[in-house]
Amino acid sequence: MHRDVAIILYHDIAEPVHPLAKHLGMSVTPDIFRQHVRYLAKNYDLISAGDLLSNNLPRKALLITFDDAYRSMLEYGAVILKEASAPAIFFGISATVAGPSIPLDNVISLAVEELGISRVLSLLELENREISSTAGLIAALLPELKTRDITVIKEKLFSSLGTTEELVHKNSHLFLDAGDVAELGKYRIAIGNHSMHHVFLRGLTDAELHCEICESRELLERISGQSVDYLAIPYGSELDATETVLQMARTSGHRGIFLVHARSNRFRPAANIYYRVDAGSGPAETLWRKLQVEPMLRTVRDWARRSRRRVSPIAEVVPAG
Binding site for Zn ion (CB under 5 A): 67-68
DSSP code, position 282: S
Determine how many CB atoms are found less than 10 A away from the CB of residue 149.
Answer: 15
Closer by beta carbon to Zn ion, 67 or else 212: 67
CB of 308 to Zn ion, least distance (A): 31
Q: What HEC string does 182-214 produce?
A: HHHCCCCEEEEECCCCCCCCCCCCHHHHHHHHH
67 vs 240, beta carbon nearer Zn ion: 67
| Phi, psi values for residue 297, rounded to 5° | -60, -45
93, 109 in Cβ contact below 8 A? no
Least distance between Zn ion and beta carbon 69 (Å): 9
From the CB of 235, what's the least distance to Zn ion, in Å? 6
Asked, as a colleague might, if the bond just before 100 is cis with ω within 30 of 0, I would say yes
CB of 46 to Zn ion, least distance (A): 22
Nearer to Zn ion, 68 or 238 (CB): 68
| C-beta separation of 313 from 238 below 8 A | yes
The residue whose Cβ lies closest to Zn ion is 67
Comparison of 96 and 264: residue with beta carbon closer to Zn ion? 96
User: Amino acid letter at 123?
Assistant: L
State in angstroms the smallest separation of the CB of 127 from Zn ion. 27
Can you tell me the distance from the alpha carbon of 193 to that of 175, in angstroms, rounded to the nearest whole number? 16
What's 239's DSSP letter? G
Nearer to Zn ion, 67 or 180 (CB): 67
